[in-house]
Amino acid sequence: MALAACRGVGRSWARLGLPRTDVAATNLAIAFPEKSARERRAILVESFAHLAESLADVAEIAHLDPESSEALVRFEGFEHVEAARGASESGGFILLTAHFGTFELFSGACAARGIPVAVVQREQGNAVLGRLLAWWRNASGVQPLRRGSAARAVMRALRDGLAVGMPLDQDTPREEGVFVPFFGRPACTRDAVARLAMRTGAPVVPGFLYRAADGVGRIARFSPAIEMVPAGDDGDAAVIENTRRMTAAIEDAIRSAPDHWSWIHRRWRTAPERGVNVYKPAKSR
């Protein structure tokens, strides 16, 4: 009932053209120029439904234990996680993911499955929501690592054998990232994940949470670890190539279920040419 109610709110939000629907429409036009306006509109509406139902999903993570997690979330490709942990001296690895499906439930289900998880995240602008999310994460056994001051904590987590969840699908300031293709358009992408993987040798395993066919269950789906390019004689070129490969894995997941991704973020806000902005000026909240 909660999922159905949330989906209804999300669809109504999209159909009424409320805040962020214009950003989502712009992003979809960039990503899928080959689709008709009607097809993109359908993805937009369902993406808001999926975004809204994430609220109901997130509320589940405080109650997850091995039994309830197994009933709610089915794991596919878990052998890739086991292979990554076996290839790592400490058992730690980087869980490459995105704002796709319900990442909070994904990380909580992994923790319930016996994979210790730490998540790199930015601080919430809304203090009440931030405290609520922190309570849910702590209850599910997920360790939060604050972005911007997490470098040492991430290194320690990897040494301690944790899976460090790192979303890599949002725009970043040009001085903190590199430009790599994302749906055929250069997107400024944080390069810290590639540098961390190259420095530590930690395997990078793509993982995403999908909605099951019944609309209630969830599927945690993992892919083989990404083959990383060594630094060699040109470390900067290797960082760019490794970031490109990780971004390509995220794009593949989005193409497989475009309504699962959060299209409301201004992903192409930072352009290679200064002064270029594909988005309309943000409306006051």
Are 186 and 173 contacting, i.e. CB atoms less than 8 angstroms apart? Answer: no
In tens, the pLDDT along 134-149 reads: 666 666 667 877 766 5
List of long-range contacts for 138-142, beta carbons under 8 Å, 24+ apart: 139/61, 139/62, 139/63, 140/61, 140/62, 140/64, 140/107, 140/108, 140/111, 140/112, 141/108, 141/111, 141/112, 141/116, 141/117, 142/61, 142/107, 142/108, 142/111, 142/117, 142/118
Q: DSSP secondary-structure letter at 146?
A: E
Contacts of 192 (CB under 8 A, 6+ apart): 151, 176
pLDDT at position 147 = 65
CA distance 212 to 196: 33
- CA separation (Å) from 86 to 112, 146, 230? 20, 27, 20
Residue-level pLDDT at 124: 60
Contact 160, 90 (CB under 8 A): yes
% of the chain surpassing 70 pLDDT = 91
> Phi, psi at residue 155, to the nearest 5°?
-60, -45
* Distance between CA atoms of residues 260 and 50, nearest Å: 6
Please report the pLDDT score of residue 187 as a whole number.
98
- If you ran DSSP here, which 8-state letter would residue 229 be given? P
pTM, entire model: 0.91
Q: Which residue reads 């944790």 in tokens?
A: 162
pLDDT digits (tens, 9 = 90+) for 173-218: 999 999 999 999 999 999 999 999 999 999 999 999 999 988 888 9
If you count them, how many residues does the chain have?
A: 285
Residue 160 near residue 92, CB atoms below 8 Å:
yes
List the chain residues with pLDDT less than 70.
62-64, 122-125, 130, 133-141, 147-150, 282-285
Q: How far is CA 27 from CA 203, 208, 231, 264, in A?
A: 31, 20, 33, 8
C-alpha 283 chain-centroid distance: 25
CA distances from 177 to 95, 123, 257, 268 (A): 19, 19, 26, 13
